[in-house]
Each structure stands twice: as structure tokens, then as C-alpha cells.
A and B are shown apart, each in its own frame.
Chain A
Amino acid sequence: MDEKTIFDAIRETVAERTDANIDDIKMESTFRELGIDSLDTVELLMNLEDKLGVTIEVDKKLETVKDLVDFIAAL
């Protein structure tokens, strides 16, 4: 899957769940600064699985949006 598709899906999902403006969600944004905690991350991944049609089982710490984009792209 290409990085832009993944990035857009993440931005959309984060914007749906938080007060963050979609344009302010960047590759280098950390989930912490977007107000996404560990519980939010679990639900975020569920939403992304539905949007992208993949199974995402995270086995390492992902701090930035780019970390997650890379992780999904490598699936």
C-alpha cells in the first residue's frame, strides 16, 4: 500500500477522534502531541483496519505518524 493512502487514512481517523485540524497532522507529529494515548491507539488501529482492509498487529512502540505509516506500508 502506498504511503499517501496510509497517511491520509491516519490523518482522517485522528481528525475524526480529536480536536486536531487535519492539516496540522503531519508525518512528524507524535501521537502524544495529537492527544492520542494508548487506549486511543487501540481504537485508532481498529478504525484503520476497517478503512484500509488490513490486519494491523503492532508489536513495537510507534511514536510518530510516520512510524505508523512505515509499519503499515511494510505489512
Chain B
Amino acid sequence: MAEWRRVVVTGMGAISPVGKGLEENWNNLVAGVNGIDNITLFDTTDYKAKLDGEVKDFNPRDYMEKSDVLKTDRYAQFAIAAASEAVQMSGIVGNVDPERFAVYFGTGIGGMATFTKEHNTLLKRGPSRVSPFFVPMMIANMSSGLLSIRYNAQGPAMPAVTACASGSNAIGEAMRLIRHGYANAVIAGGSEAAISECGVAGFINMQALSTATDKNEASLPFDKRRSGFVIAEGGAALILEEYEHAKRRNATIFAELVGYGSTSDAYHITAPRADAEGARRAMSQALKEAGYTDSDSVYINAHGTGTPLNDKAETLAIKHSLGEDAARRAAISSTKSMTGHMLGAAGAIEAIVAIKALESGIIPPTINLLERDEECDLDYTANKAGKKDITLSLSNSLGFGGHNATLAFRRV
């Protein structure tokens, strides 16, 4: 491990159903604020699912020029909103060689609403009316492209597109970029805006979404009543930086990214392996890189989607990676109980939660966790925030396609 360059976090930004900006997000997550509410982005009369996690009162003009607003999909706008906060916090721009500055920014889908809108235009008005911005707005790499342009990051810029693991994979791969000497700083994270008719209809028919109408009975990670996730949107960004580089410029260091695990189930397009071996291996890899020992005090921001299969399998993965006793001692929570499932942005905002928990010793709760499931029998920090001095903080993300990613953070 000694030959690897160390990677630290020097900036964070978030926009989600529970808030705009890092501080509001963290305060609301600690307070157990539920960001889930009725879908307002389209008429849900014919849809079985009625709830989602929307970014409330989002005005892209707060983050970008008018001429850019019309040419960017909402998913990219969330990326810019989150990244602008992180970039500003870090003070990185102007203090890094542009050719050594990179962007790895994930999304599960890309410009879903743009796709739907322009396809409708094609059907109604013919090919001559499809916007020339259709392609650049819709493609899943455009948030990375836009951020590289905006911040003059001339190193590699690319997305991770691994469904619900996209945000974590983007951050993990960005860490490797710095570790192995290809960049000195990376804007890394994820964003998503897939709450559109076709997206929601598809998820409903997969039986992936909760059809609850009470917002406190919808996103129920690790609860016996859980019946699917609640689709949500938003974005989150980290500034990852090489440790010596950050120290030289006296940057504030929030945490060190000490471990990353990335595996595939090689099993099924949507279902996790029943033995959770794919997720277990991702966790074990991250723990090994992090130099985990039995004496560590661990927090895990679980993937915890609230689907029957995920939460059971993830519980098993935690037990098998840490060992049964250590798994029982670990503090765990699923902040998706409050944000809903932000898909490609989930891993990024949850990485931030893991860092903030490490920094503050406060564990945000899993809200609305009332009925214990015998197959989910660990300490999920039910309903009220906890306090625990954490030495190692993990975030798990598991995506359709069988993608498993775990990030591990320590204090510097």
C-alpha cells in the first residue's frame, strides 16, 4: 500500500430531496427529515407508484447561465449544482495543473426526460423538429463533459454508468486515477434525473418501486414491510485530491479515501446473488485496502434500497465481510429512507454521508424502521440519529447488472 499515492477529500457538494447544499442535506439527514412526497413532475393518474423524492424548487439559473440551461438536461444541471459547491469549497480551481485535473461523474441513465420529450416531438412533428441539442443533452457522459469545460479540467473526463452503483464507481475509479499517478485532483460523483413517465413506468413494471401512498410507509429499508424503493433524483460531488498536493496548498481535508472494492455478481440482470458473494467481495476488497482490523469502529451507509431482496442480501454481505460479531457491533443506516433512491447519484451522496458521520461521530438514522425483519437483524440506527466515534466509514452501492461497489473512508 505504501507505494500508492494517498487520496483525500477536499470538497463536497450535494443537492437532493432533503436539501440544497451540503449543510442543509446533512442537518436534515441527521434530523430524520423525510424528503419523499407526491410525484409532481408528471400526472400519475395511470401510474401505480405515486411517490418520489424530488429536488424541491430547483432553479438551474442559481447555478448556471441562461444560455446553458436550455441546452442541458436536468441530470446535468444537478451535476453542475453539486459540483459547483464542491469546487468552491475545495478552492481547487487555479491551484491544480489543468492537465492533471480530471472529472469522473456517473449517472445511471443520463437525459431520460430529454429523450422522452424529443421522441414525442419526432412522433408528433417529424424528424426536422428534433432539437439539435437532443444528443448532447441526452448522452450520459455530458455531465462529465460539461464539468470539464466549466472548470478547465483537461485530464480524463468520463462517466461511470453502472446503474445504482454509478456514483460509487465514479468515485472509486477516480481514486485509482490519483493513486496511480494519472491525475492530481478529480471532480467525482454522480447525478440523476430519471423521474419521467417512461422511467417510472419501467420501474413499476419491474416491480421495483413501492406503490405506497403514505410517504412514511414507502421507503422502508430493512423493515419487514418493505416492498420496493422510492425513485428519487439529485446530485452529489466530491473533490478528490492527492494528499501531498492538498497539504502543499493548505486545503481543508475532510477525510481520506482509503479503500475501494468493485466486483460483479455475474449472475442476473436485476436480482442480487442470494449468497451476496458479489457484494461481500466488494466490501472485503475495500476493507482490505483500508487496513481494517477488529478494533475498528465501523459505520456503514448501506445501499439499503427497501427492496425485499437487496436488504436481505446486503445484510448477509455485511456479516460475511466483517464477520458476525463485528457486523453486530457496526453502526449501519440507510439514508434512502429519507432521500429515496437517487440511483446514479446515490453512491455519491452516501459517500458524503459516510464522510460526515466519520467527521462528526453522528450516525444519521434509518427512519420509519418499525417492524424488524429476522433476516435483517443488524443495528440499522432505527428512527433516531446515533452517536458513535467512528474510525472507518463505508458506503455500499449495488446496481442493476450486478455491479457492486464499496468505498472506505478514514480520518487523516
Residues of A bordering B, CB below 8 Å: 17-19, 35, 39-40, 42-43, 46
Mark contacts of B120-142 with chain A using CB atoms, 8 A cut-off: 1 yes-contact digit, 0 otherwise: 00000000110111001000000
Bound Cα distance A43, B128 (Å): 10
A43/B132 in contact, CB under 8 A: yes
Nearest opposing residue in chain B for A18, CB measure: B67
Q: Give the total number of A-B pairs whose CB atoms are below 8 A apart.
A: 22
Q: Is B43 an interface residue (CB 8 A)?
A: no
Q: Which residue of B lies closest to A44 (CB)?
A: B132
Tell me what chain B mostly uses at the interface: helix, strand, loop, or mixed. loop
A19 touches B133 (CB 8 A): no
Q: Any chain A CB within 8 A of the CB of B70?
A: yes
B66 at the interface (CB under 8 A from A): yes
A35 to B128, CA, bound (A): 23
How long is the Cα–Cα vector from A17 to B67 in the complex, in angstroms?
5
Q: How far is B132's CA from A17's CA once the two chains are assembled, in angstroms?
A: 14
Task: Find out whether the CB atom of B67 lies under 8 angstroms from the CB atom of A35.
Answer: yes
Shortest Cβ gap from B126 to chain A (Å):
12
| Other A-B pairs, 9, CB within 8 Å; known A17-B67, A40-B71 | A19-B65, A19-B66, A39-B133, A39-B136, A40-B67, A43-B132, A43-B133, A46-B129, A46-B131
Whether B66 and A42, one on each chain, are in contact in the complex, defined by CB atoms closer than 8 angstroms, is no
Q: Are A18 and B66 in contact (CB under 8 A)?
A: yes
Size category, B interface: 10 to 19
Question: Across the interface, which residues of A come within 8 angstroms of B71, CB to CB?
Answer: 39-40
Q: Tell me the bound Cα distance from A43 to B135 in angstroms.
A: 13
| B132 A39 Cβ-Cβ under 8 A | yes
Contact partners of A17 in chain B: CB under 8 A = 66-67, 70
Listed by A's residue number, 22 A-B pairs whose Cβ atoms lie within 8 Å are: A17-B66, A17-B67, A17-B70, A18-B66, A18-B67, A19-B65, A19-B66, A19-B67, A35-B67, A39-B71, A39-B132, A39-B133, A39-B136, A40-B67, A40-B71, A42-B132, A43-B131, A43-B132, A43-B133, A46-B128, A46-B129, A46-B131
**When chains A and B are docked, how far (Å) is the Cα of A40 from the Cα of B65?**
15
Distance, CA A9 to CA B133, complexed state (A): 21
Q: Which residues from A are CB-within-8-Å of B132?
A: 39, 42-43
Q: Could you tell me which residues of chain B, from 98 to 147, have a CB within 8 Å of some CB in chain A?
A: 128-129, 131-133, 136
Q: How far is the CA of A54 from the CA of B294 in the complex (A)?
A: 74
A34 to B133, CA, bound (A): 18
Q: Across the interface, which residues of A come within 8 angstroms of B129, CB to CB?
A: 46
Determine the distance from Cα of A18 to Cα of B67 in the docked complex, in whole angstroms: 4
User: In the complex, how many angstroms separate the beta carbon of B338 from the nearest chain A beta carbon?
Assistant: 37
Query: Which 4 residue pairs are nearest across A and B when measured between Cβ atoms?
Result: A42-B132, A18-B67, A39-B132, A19-B66
Please name all residues of chain B whose beta carbon is closer than 8 Å to the beta carbon of A43 when the two chains form the complex: 131-133
With a cutoff of 8 Å between Cβ atoms, the chain B residues found around residue A39 in the complex are 71, 132-133, 136
B69 to chain A, nearest CB (A): 9
Docked CA distance A35–B133 (Å)? 15
Residues of chain A contacted by B66 (CB below 8 angstroms): 17-19
A43 to B66, CA, bound (A): 15
CB distance from A51 to the nearest CB of B (A): 14
Q: B70: which A residues are within 8 A, CB to CB?
A: 17
Q: A42 to chain B: which residues have CB within 8 Å?
A: 132
* Residues of B with C-beta under 8 A to A18: 66-67
Residue of B nearest to A16 (CB): B70
Write the nearest CB–CB distance from A67 to chain B, whole angstroms. Answer: 20
Q: Mark B225-254, 1 if CB is under 8 A from A, else 0.
A: 000000000000000000000000000000
Nearest A residue (CB) for B130: A46
Q: How far is the CA of A46 from the CA of B121 in the complex (A)?
A: 12
Task: Please give the distance in Å from A14's CB to the nearest CB on chain B.
Answer: 10
Closest to B131 in A: A43
| Interface-central residue, B67, B71, B136, by most chain A CB under 10 Å | B67
- Nearest-CB residue, chain B, relative to A19: B66
Residues of chain B within 8 A (CB-CB) of A19 are 65-67
Residue among B70, B132, B136 with max Cβ neighbours from chain A (10 Å): B132
Complex Cα gap A42–B129 (Å): 10
